């Protein structure tokens, strides 16, 4: 196969469909915006030629749009739970001479309303999301629909293949190529369409009892994760905090507890996952009905939020983007938090100890205090001080 060159030698994806300029979102010059599984799948499609000119092609979990851009000459639908992924797709389409609307996009909550001829699935990090997507796919398939999965070999397990087999039909895999593998699936018409078991829920006892609903893509769907638990145990209670943000809110449990303990506060829930925001809104409405108001937005960090407009920003930042590990998103969140905070406003963040967020926060805010810790996590607090001794350092860090 023509595998393309490593990111250090070429910034472009080179496959039989052409050469394409691609960028990650957030941008990271150290990492390329595609992987060997994308290359393997595009080469396989070129060799097999399963796509006709008027083929309706559905692509799932295409993190930065590599597959959709390379196949944009077809009638392509992209189904993704990530707002950042959708933004990357639009930017990469434009960078390669297509209009941003060339590929039709659907969020993780909304499904395409068309019968599809071919489906390409990048295996997601969350097995529950794959299960939900496979159930949702079945009504979109016809007798001759073709289904191909792709992923790095380390992320394709027996449980992955069992899901394809039990929900869609007979499943085989290719031999590994550059540590990636393809999944070849035939639709079994005898299988019932079935129904996704998601969203699911669990009961949480904190300051009171909550029923927490979680859509399929969410982290820690069956219980409160240990990082959030530590942050909740050290939740600030202060009448000064009238405008509180739960940034990267997930199912919203951090913001919900903050709202309960600060009854005069208005809440803003932000996440780049459509399923996260849907879960957070469901959980907030269940907790407070119509007695409290809150805003729920899918967006990139705090874009569009006015400078100096928030009193408290709470963050339990992700340290991965699908299968890639890094702190680019977390750093973006911290920088946006500082910009959006009022003078004297507070950032409170929980993170893994080994990620050393305190160093970056201190560089940016000019101060950082550890207020709680255990073997794995730390809770950090930083205040956005009035213009003073730390302002020059903070301005430099923002560049």
| pLDDT-based confidence at residue 144 (cuts at 50, 70, 90) | very high
124: enclosing H helix or E strand: none
- 184 pairs with which residues across the strands? 148, 172
Q: Are residues 111 and 60 in the same domain?
A: yes
Whether 87 is covered by a domain: the verdict is yes
Q: Please give the pLDDT value at position 5.
A: 35
Whether 357 is covered by a domain: the verdict is yes
Note the helical H segments in the chain. 36-48, 66-70, 83-95, 127-137, 158-167, 226-233, 253-261, 274-288, 328-340, 357-365, 391-398
What mean pLDDT do residues 301-326 have? 82
137 vs 222 pLDDT, higher one = 137
Q: Please give the pLDDT value at position 395.
A: 44
Whether 173 is covered by a domain: the verdict is yes
| pLDDT-based confidence at residue 326 (cuts at 50, 70, 90) | low
* Cα separation, 369 vs 362, whole angstroms: 9
Whether 365 is covered by a domain: the verdict is yes
Residue ranges making up the domain that contains 227: 200-398
Q: Please give the pLDDT value at position 386.
A: 52
* Cα separation, 212 vs 280, whole angstroms: 9
Lowest mean per-residue pLDDT among 39-43, 76-80, 267-271, 385-389: 385-389
Q: What is the pLDDT of residues 241-280, one digit of tens each?
A: 999 999 999 999 999 999 999 999 999 999 999 999 999 9
The answer to whether 143 touches 110, Cβ cutoff 8 Å, is no
Q: Mean pLDDT, the chain, as a whole number?
A: 91
Which is it for strands 141-152 and 116-122: parallel, antiparallel or unpaired?
parallel
Q: Are residues 376 and 290 in the same domain?
A: yes
Q: Please give the pLDDT value at position 159.
A: 97
Q: Are residues 164 and 299 in the same domain?
A: no
Q: Are residues 372 and 265 in the same domain?
A: yes
Lowest mean per-residue pLDDT among 145-149, 217-221, 293-297: 217-221
The two structure tokens encoding residue 280 = 């957070």
Whether 227 is covered by a domain: the verdict is yes
Of 125, 156, 185, the one marking the end of a domain is: 185
For residue 282, CA distances in Å to 210, 219, 223, 235 come to 12, 16, 17, 22
Q: Which residue has the tokens 């119509």?
A: 290
* Cα separation, 253 vs 356, whole angstroms: 24
What mean pLDDT do residues 282-292 have? 96
Domain count, the chain: 2
- What percent of the chain has a predicted confidence (pLDDT) above 70? 92
* Cα separation, 346 vs 55, whole angstroms: 52
Whether 77 is covered by a domain: the verdict is yes
Q: Please give the pLDDT value at position 398.
A: 47
Of 349, 357, 346, which Cα lies nearest the Cα of 382? 346
Whether 275 is covered by a domain: the verdict is yes
Which CATH number do you get for residue 316? 3.40.50.150
Whether 53 is covered by a domain: the verdict is yes
The answer to whether 251 touches 230, Cβ cutoff 8 Å, is no
Q: Which residues contact 317 (CB under 8 A, 6 or more apart)?
A: 248, 327, 329, 330, 333, 334, 349, 351, 357
Judged against a pLDDT cut of 90, whether residue 56 lies above it is answered with: yes
Q: What is the pLDDT of residues 179-202, one digit of tens each?
A: 999 999 999 989 988 899 999 999
| pLDDT-based confidence at residue 220 (cuts at 50, 70, 90) | confident
Q: Are residues 115 and 220 in the same domain?
A: no
What mean pLDDT do residues 281-301 have? 96
Judged against a pLDDT cut of 80, whether residue 322 lies above it is answered with: no
153 vs 10 pLDDT, higher one = 153
Q: Are residues 245 and 340 in the same domain?
A: yes
Q: Please give the pLDDT value at position 11.
A: 76
Q: Are residues 180 and 218 in the same domain?
A: no
First-to-final CA distance of the chain: 42
Of 185, 212, 243, the one marking the end of a domain is: 185
């Amino acid at each position: 196969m023509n595998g393309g060159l490593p990111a250090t030698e070429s910034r472009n994806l080179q496959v039989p469909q052409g050469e394409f300029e691609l960028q990650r979102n957030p941008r990271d010059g150290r990492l390329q915006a595609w992987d060997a599984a994308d290359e393997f799948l595009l080469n396989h499609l070129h060799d097999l030629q399963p796509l006709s000119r008027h083929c309706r092609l559905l692509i799932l979990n295409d993190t930065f749009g590599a597959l959709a851009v390379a196949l944009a000459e077809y009638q392509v639908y992209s189904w993704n739970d990530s707002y950042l992924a959708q933004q990357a797709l639009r930017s990469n389409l434009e960078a390669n001479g297509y209009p941003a609307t060339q590929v039709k996009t659907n969020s993780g909550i909304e499904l395409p309303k068309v019968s599809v001829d071919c489906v390409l699935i990048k295996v997601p990090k969350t097995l529950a999301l794959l299960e939900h997507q496979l159930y949702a796919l079945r009504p979109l398939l016809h007798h001759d629909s073709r289904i191909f999965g792709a992923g790095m070999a380390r992320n394709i397990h027996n449980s992955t293949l069992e899901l394809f087999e039990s929900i869609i039909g007979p499943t085989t895999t290719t031999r590994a190529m550059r540590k990636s593998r393809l999944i070849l699936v035939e639709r079994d018409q005898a299988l019932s369409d079935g129904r996704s078991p998601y969203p699911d829920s669990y009961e949480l006892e904190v300051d009171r009892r909550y029923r927490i609903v979680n859509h399929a893509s969410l982290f820690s769907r069956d219980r409160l994760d240990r990082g959030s638990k530590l942050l909740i145990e050290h939740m600030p209670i202060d009448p000064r905090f009238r405008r509180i943000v739960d940034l990267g809110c997930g199912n919203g449990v951090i913001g919900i507890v903050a709202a309960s303990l600060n009854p005069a506060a208005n809440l803003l829930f932000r996440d780049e996952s459509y399923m996260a925001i849907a879960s957070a809104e469901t959980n907030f409405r269940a907790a407070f009905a119509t007695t409290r108001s809150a805003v729920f937005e899918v967006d990139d960090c705090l874009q569009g939020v006015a400078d100096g407009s928030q009193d408290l920003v709470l963050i339990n930042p992700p340290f991965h983007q699908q299968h890639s590990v890094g702190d680019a998103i977390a750093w973006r969140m911290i920088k946006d938090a500082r910009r959006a905070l009022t003078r004297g406003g507070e950032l409170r963040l929980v993170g893994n100890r080994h990620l050393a967020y305190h160093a970056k926060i201190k560089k940016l805010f000019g101060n950082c205090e550890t207020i709680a810790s255990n073997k794995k996590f730390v809770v950090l607090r930083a205040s956005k001080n009035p213009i003073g001794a730390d302002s020059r350092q903070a301005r430099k860090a923002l560049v």
